[in-house]
Amino acid sequence: MSDKKNPETQETPQGCGSTCVRSDVPERVIFTEEMRRTYTILLPTMLPRHFKILSEVFHYYGYKTEPLEIGLHGDSKKVIDAGLKYVHNDACYPALLVIGQFIAALESGKYDTHKVALLLTQTGGGCRASNYIALLRKALTRAGYDYIPVISLNFSGLEQMPGFRITLPMIHRTLYALLYGDLIMMLVNQCRPYETVPGTAEALADRWSSQLAAEMTAGHISYRKVKETYRRIIRDFAAIDGVQARRTAPRVKVGIVGEIFVKFSALGNNALEDFLVSEGAEPVMAGLTDFCLYVVTNAMVDYKLYGTGFWKSRIYRIVDRFFLHKQDDMIAAMKEEPLFTPPSSFRHTRTLTRDYVGLGAKMGEGWLLTAEMLELIESGVNNIICTQPFGCLPNHIVGKGMMKPIKERHPDVNLVAIDYDAGATRINQENRIKLMLANARK
Amino acid sequence: MRDGEKGTELSSWDTLGAVAGAGEAAIGIDIGSTTAKIVVFCDGQLQYSCYERHLSQVRPKTLELLLRVKDMVGDRPVRVAISGSAGLGLAKAAGIPFVQEVFATGETVKRLEPDTSVVIELGGEDAKVIFFKGGMDERMNGTCAGGTGAFIDQMATLLDLSIEEMDALSLKHTRIYPIASRCGVFAKTDIQPLLNQGAAKENIAASIYAAVASQTIAGLAQGRRIQGKVMFLGGPLYYCQGLRAAFKEALNLDDDHALFPEYGRLSVALGAALYATGQSACTDMETLIRGVSAACNEKLETAHTQPLFADEAEYQAFCARHSRASVKVVYPTDYIADCVAAGRDEHGVCDAYLGIDCGSTTTKLVLMGMDGELLYAYYHSNRGNPVGIVQEQLSEIYKLCGNRIRIKGSCVTGYGEDLIRHAFHIDRGLVETMAHFMAAKYFNPHVDFILDIGGQDIKCFKVKDNAIDSIMLNEACSSGCGSFIETFARSMGYEVEDFAKLGLFAKAPVELGTRCTVFMNSSVKQAQKDGASVGDISAGLSRSVVNSAIHKVIRAGSADELGQEIVVQGGTFLNDAILRSFEMEIGREVIRPRIAGLMGAFGAALYARSLGLAQSSTLGPEAVAAFTHTSKAATCHGCGNNCRLTINTFHGGEKYISGNKCEKGAGRKVPEGADVIPDLHRYKREKIEALAESAKDGGRGTVGLPLALGMYELAPLWFTFFTELGFRVIFSGPSSRSLYMKGQYSIPSDTACYPAKIMHGHMEDLVSRGVDAIFYPCLTYNIDEHTGDNHYNCPVVAYYSELLAGNMESLSKTTFLYPYLNINDRKQLTKELYDLMKDQFGGFTRQAVSRAVRAALAAYDTWMADIRREGEAAVRWARERGARIMILAGRPYHIDPEIGHGIDKLATSLGFAVVTEDSIAGLTMDSAAAVPIHVLNQWTYHARLYAAARYAVAHDDVQMVQLVSFGCGIDAITTDEVRAILESGGKLYTQIKIDEITNLGAVNIRLRSLIGALEYAGHEGEYGNSRVETTADSAPTEPTQAGKEVADRV
């Protein structure tokens, strides 16, 4: 019965009598080898630039992927409305947005709905996020799209599809996409508050992400060239007019941590980065690579704590070393330009929670969230916004639950928890951030 | 609240000193969610202050205030700042400096009372706590704005009191009722039944204040203690003495440490003025006024939806269509004449039937003739005294009818059903869902979906094969309900009818949130900020209420999911703006009977008619005239639930007791055999109690186990482990409200579920018992029962210890052990526990630990096997007697009486044998594969729910009721899945959301609706609703008394 042990049996209906056919959700639609060639796979867009580059990695390996644009250009209402309509309102806000984005895209008329598949990540962790995919299927059924295949992107062997396979080289290339995306994201945040002509950094970022996207489809990626590209990107950003002020007249730095989707997605956090920049602050965020390393770390910790998954932990140890090494190179490139602040190595970040929360707390963002707050404080960022969907379960513990112990040891730090939700208004959120900024500038 | 006054009250601020220099003026403006405040200093001295409601007219009001002080300021240079939650947009538009309001408050406090350690400020919609000592920290309420000024206003409206009256009454209270403090909506759910049960307003008023205080402290202190000198600011704390008392009581402050300064409600404006003087920017009145005037004329920027009606003609067509669904209205004398003419009288006396719907906010009454004609109708807010209203109306009916009309049968439904039935000897009580169904069928025999939106509840049911197929009620949330619009209209200075009318032709209705009334308040604030008109807000609210009802309560994706033949009813639908919004939202025309507000009573009357009684027991004219009613409070000590009772005494000394969770408290005889109905919740509780009593002292000291969350499941395991190693094991608890309060101060995340939050109290309890160590491990993985894809715990159950360790200072008095453990692998567990015991206590051999682990795991297995045996015995017991079986499913910790609120008892009192999802695990094996599961089945506790649901599907005599803790994110997934599984087998799905306080009355309705639906499905026609007719508009040409009454309301 278990997916893990027996992925094949899952596809056939289990011995079901005539009285108990479930009409609410049909049997899982399979993404076949055939579909791989003809179907467009839609990707939900958490980080537009990252996903643009990532999508090209998929292209290179023969998938026709397309990151969704709907909801990102002042049309977030369409996405939220679709989400509210088809997702249980008590489900968390990211689920509502991700599914809302898919449905809104399907209903936009832009796609031949008989020629698309949807891709969603599934961590397999103990948070309800692992069930987004089930919520998506239910929503599709309700919206009349029950024939659309949904592909789970995961590394836990859940729900395998014949037409979709993740291979090692693919992961390798994905890692570069991630690192590029992170680098650009950090540079944009470090430049935007200072640029003389508003929009310069973003325009540069867009140009680079298009260029990098093209690079992802090159037959061979030379790592030497990747490292060289890091430096070229950094040089370009350092040359933006006005950015020198980052050293001479630094702005208040505001760290953003939180549930992964609302932390990163402008759709989820009402364009928090834009707001901070407009208020004259500099947003600081750790990249998506950290989250991946967090997942990798958890596999190793599981073995240490529970004695389970020996081989898995061994493999992940290799992956861990490899990833960290790549992250080091990116950090090194950033260090060469004194204008910019590089992130901490994850090797260090994960040691920070020791006195706060155990590395066993691995559901949702788990200990990573606490570690990110501590990493920010360590690097001198004393104002931190902890973003979370309203009622986020893991964040009760690793977010709000860790604020008191952190403040006890770092009394000068401003921590503010902001809830995001379809019903929460921007004015309340912004008001609280303004309060934090007023304090920071005292 | 009161109008502005000249600034005399500020004259005593000796410590203030000069604000702004000679020849200059300083102005502080504070625009909150409901009020605008201004302070003006000229030449360093205070000249003017004012505090007025702005009734959403933010910008014009500000302009008005400025014009008022224009001459006073003259041509002095002006330093000005705006603050307040609704002031931001104006500040931006008019180019005036903005200062965050908490920051402004801080300025004031530092200037006037520098030794203050904490400030608590309540505004219209905001609550703030500012810590000044020991690391400055400022906290505002997040997305949940319960327990603020707007909430107090709403409560006063509910009690039909002015703010002043409510305050005065509260000071005379004799007892405090527990009222949910998290959110205003829940509080309202608690207050309503109290009102209906006849509790004294004095006590309710004081209870409301206590709830506000508790909410503020729990929600904002977030683990930090409020102590030292505490200053209270803001409008509500300025006006309400009772609220002040509640805060002092809750925080245990004496007069020296609780400051209620004269400038309390102006503190933000004052802070803004202080802030302004520190800024270099300077302007003059001329420029200032010009800026604000320009802002008044600015275009809107909020999101909008389409207008409700394009023009008057469209509205008229709409009205004409809906006027078709009406009932024949006949004046009693005409009715008598008609009956006599038709020979249907009995010596000149004609029969009629009485239906009463004693709802949550309104009381409805219908007198029906033999052919279903309306002889008399009444619809009114019950003003907190439904008994008085029914008495008055019965007298009125008797007066109208004289001795020519005889009440042949009577029936009451609604929240106040029991009370009214006992008070007036009404023949029958009918669960309200059934009453509404009967009434809806009268208007459309093919009805397949009924939506009833009342004052604070939404009921909807699908009808399939002429029986109620599924029932949905809003729980713990009244967004999408009528009373919200009503209180909102009043807060903006309108009657609800006028408010609705303004919305009908609004050009650009604003887009508001759908989640919760409190959030809607915030959205309205945003709209106000952007200058939306009252009409736009009214129409927006209607859309929003309807959206909430459809998407939140019913959770329908499309109109087709609702049904083809929809009947809408309930007083809220009399509002054309709501009705129109509903039709627009679902894109389909629906039937709204003109008696939409009376449907419950109408259905009750239909039922009374169908009874065919020879004689009604309803109190006659003399008895009604002589009727008296008093109520007093008491606490039942019949069992551990300690129900708070309200004892109603009627004329002649007859008593009716409400508030009881079981028959015992009602002072009635417990029915024969009631005690022996199996109840696995009770069985499991008793089993744990027996375990606790069996604790032995082996000389190694004491270990405390908090009896909450996962410990309810693993108690035998850990108990045995520590006992084997020679520790005396002490369980905390039992859970109670006061236990919860003990730990409330250290809760960092108020939106976590109640079962988690009560952990804090359990920990405090163990610390106070002086245990050597407390043990509650972190268990990422729960027991693997091999029934799902994985076997996780939920994040809260798994890691709550981490939170406790970080937030509970008192744990430093003991040793708190919360290791990460693998309970599925004996060897690994032994290793982990050996390391733990060695490090913490020393002196244990690996063998001893290994033996203890073996014994512990065996004890757990034995324990679970016993529960399964008992569960199977319960099922057998029920089958032998033909009794209904209820799987009262949830989590292991839902058997906690403080969390489950005795719902198991209620179920057994209704005749169900109650089993739990784990107790029938052995039985579910055969049905396990029968229904596929479409979610990732990865939590141990939840896998049991799916298995139980599959079992219910496979057995006709088994019903499943799912308990869900409010705030449980995972149940957002499980509830839909359990529902889908049950519905795939044609079963009713009943979900009960439980929280700190649960309104057992609502649970009762649900369970009785469930029974009603089951019975209805079994014995169709028993309810005798065969007579169905829809008459064209046939109101008598001359509006009669009764006709007028109806016409006014309909």
**pLDDT, averaged in runs of 10, over chain A (442 residues):** 36 36 68 91 92 92 92 88 82 90 94 94 77 89 92 80 88 93 97 96 95 88 93 97 94 95 93 94 95 93 90 92 95 96 96 93 93 96 92 88 91 88 74 82 76
Find, in chain A, the residue whose alpha carbon is nearest to that of B83.
A431
Backbone angles phi, psi at B136, to 5 degrees: -60, 135
* pLDDT score of B511: 77
Closest-approach residue (CA) in chain B for A420: B143
- Token couple for A92: 């968390």
B812 phi and psi angles, rounded to 5 deg:
-65, -15
Helix (H) or strand (E) holding B795: helix B795-807
| The pLDDT value given to residue B558 | 64
Q: Give the pLDDT mean for B128-154.
A: 69
- Contact between A397 and B970 using a beta-carbon 8 Å cutoff: no
Burial label for B689, CB within 10 Å (0-12, 13-18, 19+), is middle
Sequence letter at residue B63:
L
Enter the pTM of the model: 0.81
Which of these ranges, A67-71, B14-18, B691-695, B1007-1011, has the smallest mean pLDDT?
Answer: B14-18
Closest CA to B743 of B698, B712, B774, B720: B774
The segment with the largest mean pLDDT, out of A251-265, B209-223, B465-479, B1003-1017, is A251-265
The answer to whether the beta carbons of residues B416 and B358 sit under 8 Å apart is yes
Nearest residue of A to residue B933, measured between CA atoms? A22
Closest CA to A39 of A124, A113, A132: A113
CB atoms within 10 A of CB B104: 28
Neighbours of A160 (CB within 10 A): 18
**Nearest CB partner across the interface for B795, out of A89, A397, A428:** A397
B485 with B496: CB under 8 angstroms? yes
Other Cβ atoms less than 10 A from the Cβ of B165: the count is 14
Position B1019 pLDDT exceeds 70: no
Q: What is the 3-state secondary structure (H, E, C) of B701-734?
A: CEEEECCCCCHHHHHHHHHHHHHHCCCEEEECCC
Q: Which residue among B558, B748, B930 sits closest to A404, beta carbon to beta carbon?
A: B748
- Reported as a pLDDT band with limits 50, 70 and 90, residue B926 is low
What is the per-residue pLDDT for A180? 96
Q: At what angle do helices A310-335 and A288-306 cross, to 10 degrees?
A: 150
Architecture of the domain spanning B458-590: 2-Layer Sandwich (3.30)
Which residues lie closer than 8 Å to A238 by C-beta, 6 or more apart? Answer: A337, A339, A340
Q: Please say whether the structural domain B1-113+261-298 has been given the CATH code 3.30.420.40.
A: yes
Lowest mean pLDDT among A351-360, B11-20, B194-203: B11-20
Under DSSP, the state recorded for A396 is: I
For tokens 């709204």, name the residue.
B592
Interhelix angle A288-306/A366-378, rounded to 10 degrees, is 120
Radius of gyration, alpha carbons of chain A: 22
- Give the Å distances, CA to CA, from A26 to A13, A17, B470: 10, 15, 22
Residues of each domain in chain B carrying CATH 3.30.420.40: 1-113+261-298, 332-444+603-626, 458-590
CATH (residue range B332-444+603-626): 3.30.420.40
List chain B residues with CB under 8 Å of A131.
935-936, 938, 973
Give the pLDDT of residue B516: 53
What's the pLDDT score for residue A19? 39
Is B515's CB within 8 Å of A421's CB? yes
CA B680 remoteness from chain centre? 28
CA-nearest residue of chain A to B835? A305
- Residue B930 contacts A, CB cutoff 8 Å: yes
Mutate to test the interface with B, among A121, A123, A404, A421 (most CBs of B within 10 A): A404
**Are the beta carbons of A305 and B822 separated by less than 8 Å?**
yes
In whole angstroms, give the CA distance from residue A215 to residue A211: 6
- With CB atoms and an 8 Å threshold, state whether B511 touches A77: yes
Contact status of B515 with chain A (Cβ, < 8 Å): yes
* pLDDT for position B937: 81
Please count the residues of chain B. Answer: 1050
Given this model, what pLDDT does residue B1035 score?
32
The runs of H, that is alpha helices, within B673-788 are: 680-693, 711-724, 737-743, 754-768
Alpha helices, H only, B305-455: 312-322, 332-342, 386-401, 417-424, 432-443
What's CA B281's distance to the chain center, in Å? Answer: 48
Q: How far apart are CA B423 and CA B651, in angstroms?
A: 9
Distance CA A301, CA A303 (A): 5
Alpha-carbon distance A328 to B37, whole Å?
Answer: 56
pLDDT score at B1045: 39
Tell me which of 3.40.50.2000, 1.10.150.120, 3.40.50.11900, 3.40.50.300 is the CATH number of domain A251-287+343-442.
3.40.50.11900
Q: Which of B246-250, B626-630, B815-819 has the highest mean pLDDT?
A: B815-819
As separate numbers, helices (DSSP H) first and strands (DSSP E) second, chain A gives 18, 8
Domains A22-166 and A251-287+343-442 share a fold: yes
Q: Across all residues in chain B, what is the average pLDDT?
A: 82
Burial B210-243 (b: 16+ CB within 10 A, else e): bbbbbbbbbbbbbbbebeebbbbbbbbbbbbebb
Token pair for residue B168?
């005065």
Highest mean pLDDT among A105-119, B574-588, B639-653: A105-119
| Predicted local confidence at residue A17, as pLDDT | 35
Which residue bears the tokens 């807060």? B491
> Nearest residue of A to residue B790 by CA position?
A2
- On chain B, the residues whose CB falls within 8 A of the CB of A400 are 222, 748-749
How many whole angstroms separate alpha carbon B293 and alpha carbon B287?
10
With a cut of 60, say whether residue B407 has pLDDT above it. yes
Report yes or no: B995 and B754 within 8 Å, Cβ to Cβ. yes
Q: Which residues contact B489 (CB under 8 A, 6 or more apart)?
A: B495, B496, B498, B499, B500, B538
CA–CA dist B937, B939 (Å, integer): 6
Rounded percentage of chain B residues whose pLDDT exceeds 90: 28
What is the pLDDT, as a whole number, of residue A166?
A: 86
Read off the pLDDT band of B1027 (50, 70, 90): very low
For an interface test with A, the pick among B749, B758, B950 (most A C-beta atoms closer than 10 Å) comes out as B749
- Name which of B717, B984, B704, B949 is nearest B833 in CA terms: B717
Question: For B645, phi and psi rounded to 5 degrees?
Answer: -105, 155
| Preceding peptide of B734 cis, ω within 30° | yes
Please identify among residues 60-79 of chain A the ones whose CB lies closer than 8 Å to any CB of chain B: 77
**A325 burial level (CB within 10 Å; 0-12, 13-18, 19+):** exposed
Give the CA radius of gyration of chain B: 31
Q: What Cα–Cα distance (Å) separates residue B426 from each residue in A106, B357, B420, B610, B646?
A: 57, 12, 7, 15, 20
Please give the Cα distance from B722 to A426 (Å, whole number).
52
pLDDT in tens, B966-979: 888 888 888 888 98
Q: What's residue B458's pLDDT?
A: 77
Chain-chain contact of A90 with B825 (C-beta, under 8 angstroms):
no
Per-residue model confidence (pLDDT) at position A177: 93
Nearest Cβ partner for A127 among B525, B748, B795: B795
- The predicted pLDDT at position B146 comes to 57
| CB-based contact, A198 to chain B, within 8 Å | no
Using CA atoms, how far apart are residues A156 and B912, in angstroms rounded to an integer?
43
Nearest CA of chain A to the CA of B91: how many Å? 13
List phi, psi (to 5°) of B671. -60, 150
Helix and strand element counts for chain B (H, E)? 38, 29
At B905, is the pLDDT very low, low, confident or very high (cuts 50, 70, 90)?
A: confident
pLDDT tens digits, one per residue of B312-353: 898 999 998 888 888 888 888 889 888 888 888 888 888 999
Q: What percent of chain B has pLDDT over 70?
A: 83
Strands B728-731 and B773-775: unpaired
> Measured between alpha carbons, how far is residue A27 from residues A10, A19, A30, B276, B972 in Å?
10, 16, 9, 65, 21
The alpha-helical segments, DSSP class H, found in B82-159 are 88-94, 101-112, 149-158
Domain boundaries, given as residue ranges, for chain A: 22-166, 251-287+343-442
pLDDT tens per residue across span B90-133: 888 888 888 888 888 888 888 888 888 899 988 777 788 888 77
The mean-pLDDT minimum among A423-427, B291-295, B512-516 falls in B512-516
Torsion (CA) A14, A20, A23, A27 in degrees, nearest 10: 0
Suggest the residue from B82, B548, B790, B801 to mutate for an interface test with chain A (most A CBs closer than 10 A). Answer: B790
Is CATH 3.10.20 the classification given to domain A22-166?
Answer: no
Question: Cβ–Cβ of A427/B980 closer than 8 Å?
Answer: no
Kindly report, residue by residue over B690-746, the tens digit of the pLDDT: 999 999 998 899 999 999 999 999 999 999 999 999 999 999 989 988 898 888 888
Mean pLDDT of B343-370: 87
The pair of three-digit structure tokens given for residue B580, joined into one six-digit string: 């129109």
> Are the beta carbons of A263 and A269 closer than 8 angstroms?
yes
CA distance B854 to B836: 17
Residue A63's pLDDT is 93
Q: B357, B844, B821, B780: which is closest to B604 by C-alpha?
A: B357
B660, B680, B895, B913 from B888: Cα distances, Å: 20, 9, 10, 10
pLDDT band at B925 (very low <50, low <70, confident <90, very high): low
CA proximity to A146, closest of A24, A55, A57, A255: A24
Residue of higher predicted confidence among B551 and B984: B984
In whole angstroms, what is the distance from residue B945 CA to residue B949 CA?
6
Residue B611 has pLDDT above 70, yes or no: yes
Q: Choose the weakest-confidence range: A156-160, A332-336, B551-555, B881-885.
A: B551-555
